[in-house]
């Protein structure tokens, strides 16, 4: 990890148990294998942004309005170096790429605000005609040792609503 630890051990020296100061008879034998587990990156605080406004509910575009461009961000952390962060956008992906892993960026370009801050970004196109309800995205990080975000920790949901809902009544209610 980033703690600077490294090394290689192949022998174990064993002292005679009666020798308190380990100056007596010793012998060496192969060291048993040591397996260090590596956890994949963690993903948190997945947020959808419209400019500088964090959205709790995403309002779908009205018919004839085309698409709305939003930015989705996710905080991703790993003690090792992160090599890539990717998102499966499902219905928000470009046509034909709903099941494709798309790269999120943390380099200060495109949709990313600040390079190297651990917040990865991707542009999301919300098209007219999408169904109201819940939309799911999947986000994973992969570290330098190829450990990935756990499959149970990748899914994030957003609420979608049609325009005119939640306006306090009036004709939109009827």
**Please, what is the average pLDDT of the chain?**
82
Residue 2: pLDDT over 70: no
Residue 123: pLDDT over 90: yes
pLDDT for residue 161: 93
Closest Cα partner for 155 from 54, 56, 74?
Answer: 74
Q: What is the share, in percent, of the chain residues with pLDDT greater than 70?
A: 75
Range 24-50 average pLDDT:
78
pTM strictly above 0.85: no
- pLDDT tens-place string over residues 83-103: 999 999 998 888 888 899 999
Higher pLDDT, 117 or 35: 117
Closest Cα partner for 150 from 64, 55, 37?
Answer: 37
pLDDT for residue 116: 94
pLDDT for residue 50: 94
**Contacts of residue 90, Cβ cutoff 8 Å, sequence gap at least 6:** 98, 135, 136, 137, 138
Range 7-21 average pLDDT:
57
pLDDT for residue 11: 54
Higher pLDDT, 171 or 18: 18
Q: Residue 141: count other Cβ atoms within 10 Å of its Cβ.
A: 24
Range 26-34 average pLDDT:
65
Residue 113: pLDDT over 70: yes
Confidence of residue 62 (pLDDT cuts 50, 70, 90): confident
Q: What are phi and psi of 13, to 5 degrees?
A: -95, 130
């Amino acid at each position: 990890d980033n703690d600077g630890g490294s090394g290689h051990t192949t022998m174990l020296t064993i002292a005679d148990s009666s020798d308190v100061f380990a100056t007596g008879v010793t012998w060496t034998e192969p060291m048993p294998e040591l397996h260090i587990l590596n956890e994949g990156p963690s993903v948190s605080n997945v947020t959808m942004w419209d400019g500088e406004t964090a959205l709790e509910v995403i309002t779908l575009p009205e018919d004839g309005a085309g698409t709305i461009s939003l930015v989705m961000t996710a905080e991703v952390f790993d003690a090792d170096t992160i090599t890539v962060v990717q998102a499966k956008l499902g219905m928000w992906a470009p046509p034909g790429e709903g099941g494709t892993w798309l790269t999120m960026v943390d380099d200060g370009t495109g949709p990313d605000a600040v390079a190297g801050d651990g917040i990865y970004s991707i542009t999301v196109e919300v098209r007219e005609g999408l169904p109201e309800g819940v939309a799911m995205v999947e986000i994973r990080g992969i570290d330098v040792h190829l450990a990935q975000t756990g499959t149970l920790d990748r899914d994030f949901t957003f609420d979608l609503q049609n325009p005119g809902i939640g306006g306090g009544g009036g004709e939109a209610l009827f």
